[in-house]
Structure 1
Amino acid sequence: MTDFEFIFVLYALILGLSLVALLSGLGRTLEYEFASDADGREGSFRVGWLTPLMAIFVMLDLMSFWSFAWVVRDLLTVNPATLLGVMTFASAYYVAARLVFPEAPENFRDLDTHYYRTSRTIFGILIALVFVQWAYLLTIEQIRGGLLTPTSVGLTLLFVGMMLAAMVIRNRHVQSALLVALSVRYLVLYIFN
């Protein structure tokens, strides 16, 4: 077993649980919406657009961090600092993914309320992870040169700027546009990379 395989088991486990938390939150929310429709309480619960758009963005962001592990696969060595870093990084991601959908959707009439309660925390965690990722990558000589290009720095600043804007601007239409733009950014990167 290589060092990467040993470390990736932990990373993949926690990121996999992040994906499960996100999908089970979606399932729980849809079950509640379907049950409220079946009970004749139609219109008493509104999913809205913001929480599902956040879920799509977080899922795409999660995939980017999963593929990030592949980029550094030959540079990882098993030691306590690496294991602690991987566990902390992936655990922060789990918390962000877990917050996207409420544990008890029946406590909300409108999921946009939940979104506005949690989105700053989620974006804050994701921004912190971008900085941690960059700090780590800048310590690796083989990667540093490719990372410090105007394109790479500019795209990262734009990405972080859009998340910061989503933290500050509380307009529903602006939030939707930012979430779509953040998700489209990932789709373009995945398609053309």
Structure 2
Amino acid sequence: MSGFEFFFSLYGLVLGLSVVEIISGFARLVHNRGAVRVGWLVPALAILMLFDLANFWMSAFVRLQAYEPSYGMLIIGLLISSLYYVAASAVFPRDFQAEPDFDAVYLRHRRLVLGLMTVAGLLAFELLPSLNAAGRAARLHVWTTPGEFWQPLLFFAAVGVIVVTRSKWINLAMLSC
């Protein structure tokens, strides 16, 4: 087993649990669909999170193969994937009967979920690459190339709007960015 495979086995396992958490929410929804008012916000957040998790997984696979695994890298990876798991666990309500209004659940948990996603993203795309010279150079390239830095800035702007507004339509529009 290579060092990368050792690191990725733990990182991928915990990210995989996050995927399972989201898919389990959709599965529970299928079984309880008549008893709850779903709306658009929770499903949109869940889909955003699934796409972001796929991006995290693929990015880690592509970018981190050149890294020499270290205890620091393992701990940072564990922190990143754990933040994602906690965020994923808060997307759908635990008890659909106790919380049948999904829009209310979304409005109550959106700051936590998107805050954890943002911190995980900053750790994954800024701190983890700083562990080697090639990673630092790649991040410098992203932040100094106009065609590259718009994507993280758009994400941060959308999260900022979501954090300050309770409008369901504005939240939905920002989740769709």
**TM-aligned CA deviation for residue 136 of structure 1:** 2.8
- Flag structure 1 segments of 5+ consecutive residues without an equivalent: 37-44, 182-193
Paired residue type of 1:68: S
CA distance in 1, matches of 2:73, 2:130: 16
Residue 163 in structure 1 maps to residue 159 in structure 2? yes
Tell me the TM-score normalized by structure 1.
Answer: 0.83
CA distance in 1, matches of 2:139, 2:170: 34
1:66-145 correspondence runs (5 A): 66-132=57-123, 133-142=125-134, 143-145=138-140
CA distance in 2, matches of 1:108, 1:7: 38
Residue 147 in structure 1 maps to residue 127 in structure 2? no
1:42-61 correspondence runs (5 A): 45-61=36-52
Instruction: Quote the residue 2:53 is aligned against.
Output: 62
**TM-aligned CA deviation for residue 83 of structure 1:** 1.3
Tell me the TM-score normalized by structure 2.
Answer: 0.90
- Flag structure 2 segments of 5+ consecutive residues without an equivalent: none
- Answer whether contact 1:123 1:164 (CA < 8 A) is retained: no
- Answer whether contact 1:11 1:86 (CA < 8 A) is retained: yes
What is the DSSP-based 3-state SS (H/G/I as helix, E as strand, rest coil) of the residue aligned with 1:107? coil
**TM-aligned CA deviation for residue 152 of structure 1:** 2.1
Identity %: 33
Residue 15 in structure 1 maps to residue 15 in structure 2? yes
1:85 to 1:139, Cα distance in 2 relative to 1, 3 A:
closer
Paired residue type of 1:12: G
Paired residue type of 2:100: R
Aligned residues: 172
- Answer whether contact 2:42 2:106 (CA < 8 A) is retained: yes
